Structure 1
Amino acid sequence: MVAGGRRVLSGVVASSAAAQAVFGGVVPEVAAREHVATVLPAVRRALAAAGIRPRDLAAVAVTRGPGLLGALLVGVTAAKALGLAWGLPVIGVHHLEAHLYANALAGPIRFPALALIVSGGHTSLLWWEDHSRLTVIGETRDDAAGEAFDKGARALGLPYPGGPAVEALAATVPSTPFHLPVARLEGGGYDFSFSGLKTAVAELAAREPGARAAVARALEEAVVAALVRTTARALEAYPAAALYVAGGVAANRRLRGELEALCHARGVVLGLPPPALCTDNAAMVAAAGYYRFRRGEFLGRWESAETPWPLPAAGS
């Protein structure tokens, strides 16, 4: 529950990570079934923790897309049912936009800004001019940064999700003798590529089974280098007052430290949500929904999940 797009009244997270860990990654059917089992209990717990009743609410916000269709349909259907029962409008929120609004829960947003979204399914750079004006200027051409961590963790025999496990293992060694490739893409744009890195770390892990920690550190350094290097070039080209970072990979301490150093050197404000708000959570969806609510952007009766649901690309 969020008030005014800024203040968290309660935050309840029902995660399917334990159920997905059995499979070493996300299985769409499992995700949808976990949503069915947990969505209404989570809503009841959130209301109780905030000490409010449905009649105190102004609207219901829900992730409309993009993502796994089954899970999205469960969420949108539940939100529309609650909206009908409670007499409230329902707001459909874009998942990537929601991640950015985790920053609004930590402090006011300064525009214009650059935004870096890094998660298991997405790696994108965006030009963020105002609450309703987002443009994608760069994105991954293949795998996302979080997926590189997940697949690297699997190669190293680490549990899912891979990002925290790789970070923890990498922190046990002061340095690494290994250097994994950081893709250099042609064209001078702001896209990313992690498929080559994913293959390289699997080969290195197989070749150096006794150096798991050093391989983990090399993987972490390569992912962070790719993200920071491309973001630095974008900061040179765009007159940003701030850089906002979001998504599960934004919780990585090495990435946070290097982006802090970059923004300090450039005189740019850095926005980083608390680690607990970097992964998927309802508070960020509610925060993003607040600004759509102010613009009167509500889901129509026949509107449902939307996937794929692209944000505007540069030049479109």
Structure 2
Amino acid sequence: MYVLGIESSCDECAASVVKDGNFILSNIIATQIDLHKPWQGVVPEIASRLHTRWIWSVVDLAVKEAGIKKEELGGIAVTNRPGLVGSLLVGLSFAKGLAWSLDIPFIGVDHIRAHLYAPHLENDISYPYLGLLVSGGHTVIAVVRGFDDIEVLGTTIDDACGEAFDKIAKFYDLGYPGGIAIDKLALEGNPKAFRFPSPNLHKGDHVYDVSYSGLKTAVINQLDQFLNPGFEKTKENIAASFQKRAIDILIKKVKRAITNTGIKTVVAGGGVTANSYMRSSLTGLWEVKTYFPSLELCTDNAAMIAGIGYQYLKSGEVSDFSENAKARVPSFKRGYP
């Protein structure tokens, strides 16, 4: 079955055609990075207006590059949560109209689940595994027993990991997007220059949870307090020290989850999984098999939407035309319905 995926949750206008859930025939991503760069962050109104202008041409190009006609599509998958409501509505409305015109089913997809599915597009991965979702808006550690069967073990109690990267990069004018800029600068810095703190969370319910607000505050407002003797306050040293601490916080929790669950496979997804230090840290875990999406599939893309959408459609699940966009996902703390 050919499934068209549409992703417009934030500032990427993307469309992809995937065959049978894992064969990517096209993957078009129209990025808005340069247009948001003056603000060093996504401006929601600009993003939604650009999606409106670009969506038709992006979808048309994805279908043409796949070498098929629209009439050959068996279904459409589209991101319906979480994200910027204005941006989500553009993709969702377009998907509804196209599905109606072609008389084919469509399915609204949670793109958090889709990020965890992304590595399946390039690898044969068996369930269960530990899923690690790290992006600008979400940080989640979960046991994944199926494409739609996720038990959340821990999440951030405040800021997401990617958000901390973005805010620190913006404050020190390190570059945009922040995650990429910090990763590059860190290669030229010394991670021992600053002794930034780790969060001291309570036991019990927080055994797998993470926190980034304190680390973000330390890097931005208390820099002198954590500078080690003999080092300079360079942008490179700030980037290297912050990056190491931010990723090490996650790796510590992942190690604990591996020990407690006995699951020796870790599958990572989301924009921060493109970070070179994260990849090397996870890959270096002893006796653990790790899977990452390729760099193109780390950030928001439509191939992951089409891939997981195929699984829903194959199981008989479809959305009706009353489906609406949702800015947030349900609380991670009580599972993930």
Determine if the TM-score, normalized by the shorter chain, exceeds 0.5.
yes
Structure 2 residue 176 is the aligned partner of structure 1 residue 160 = yes
Query: Which residue in 2 is equivalent to 1:231?
Result: 254
Structure 2 residue 80 is the aligned partner of structure 1 residue 56 = no
Q: Closer, same or farther in 2 for the Cα pair 1:282/1:311, shift >3 Å?
A: farther
CA distance in 1, matches of 2:214, 2:109: 33
Residue 106 (structure 1) aligned to one of 99, 122, 132 = 122
Kindly state the Cα deviation for residue 240 of structure 1 after the two structures are TM-superposed. 2.0
Query: Which residue in 1 is equivalent to 2:323?
Result: 303
Q: Closer, same or farther in 2 for the Cα pair 1:312/1:216, shift >3 Å?
A: closer
Kindly state the Cα deviation for residue 27 of structure 1 after the two structures are TM-superposed. 1.9
Query: Which residue in 2 is equivalent to 1:294?
Result: 314
Deviations 1:36-92 (A, max 9, x none): 111111101111111111111110100010111111111110110110111211111
Contact 1:149 1:166 in 2 (8 A): yes
Contact 1:112 1:239 in 2 (8 A): no
SS of 1:135's equivalent in the other structure is strand
Structure 2 residue 223 is the aligned partner of structure 1 residue 200 = no
After the TM superposition, which residues 245-256 of structure 1 pair with which residues of structure 2 at under 5 Å, given as runs?
245-256=268-279
- Provide the aligned length of Structure 1 versus Structure 2: 313
Contact 2:189 2:238 in 1 (8 A): no
Kindly state the Cα deviation for residue 100 of structure 1 after the two structures are TM-superposed. 0.9
Residue 97 (structure 1) aligned to one of 105, 109, 113 = 113
Structure 2 residue 30 is the aligned partner of structure 1 residue 5 = no
Contact 1:175 1:214 in 2 (8 A): yes
CA distance in 2, matches of 1:42, 1:291: 23
Code of the aligned partner of 2:302: A
Q: Closer, same or farther in 2 for the Cα pair 1:57/1:28, shift >3 Å?
A: same
Mind listing any 5+ residue stretches in structure 1 that lack a counterpart? none
Kindly state the Cα deviation for residue 307 of structure 1 after the two structures are TM-superposed. 3.2
CA distance in 1, matches of 2:260, 2:313: 33
Kindly state the Cα deviation for residue 269 of structure 1 after the two structures are TM-superposed. 1.8
TM-score of the aligned structures, taking structure 2 as reference length:
0.88
Contact 2:135 2:161 in 1 (8 A): yes
TM-score of the aligned structures, taking structure 1 as reference length:
0.94
Residue 267 (structure 2) aligned to one of 244, 247, 262 = 244
Query: Which residue in 2 is equivalent to 1:281?
Result: 301
Structure 2 residue 49 is the aligned partner of structure 1 residue 33 = yes
RMSD of aligned Cα (Å): 1.8
Mind listing any 5+ residue stretches in structure 2 that lack a counterpart? 1-16
After the TM superposition, which residues 109-124 of structure 1 pair with which residues of structure 2 at under 5 Å, given as runs?
109-124=125-140
Kindly state the Cα deviation for residue 257 of structure 1 after the two structures are TM-superposed. 0.5
Kindly state the Cα deviation for residue 291 of structure 1 after the two structures are TM-superposed. 0.7
SS of 1:101's equivalent in the other structure is helix
Structure 1's consecutive aligned runs of 4 or more residues displaced over 4 angstroms after TM superposition are 204-210, 311-316
Code of the aligned partner of 2:315: R
Residue 191 (structure 1) aligned to one of 184, 209, 232 = 209
Query: Which residue in 2 is equivalent to 1:73?
Result: 89
Query: Which residue in 2 is equivalent to 1:19?
Result: 35
CA distance in 1, matches of 2:335, 2:68: 45
Kindly state the Cα deviation for residue 241 of structure 1 after the two structures are TM-superposed. 4.5
CA distance in 2, matches of 1:135, 1:314: 9
Q: Closer, same or farther in 2 for the Cα pair 1:206/1:19, shift >3 Å?
A: farther
Query: Could you say which structure has the higher strand fraction?
Result: 2
Structure 2 residue 61 is the aligned partner of structure 1 residue 45 = yes
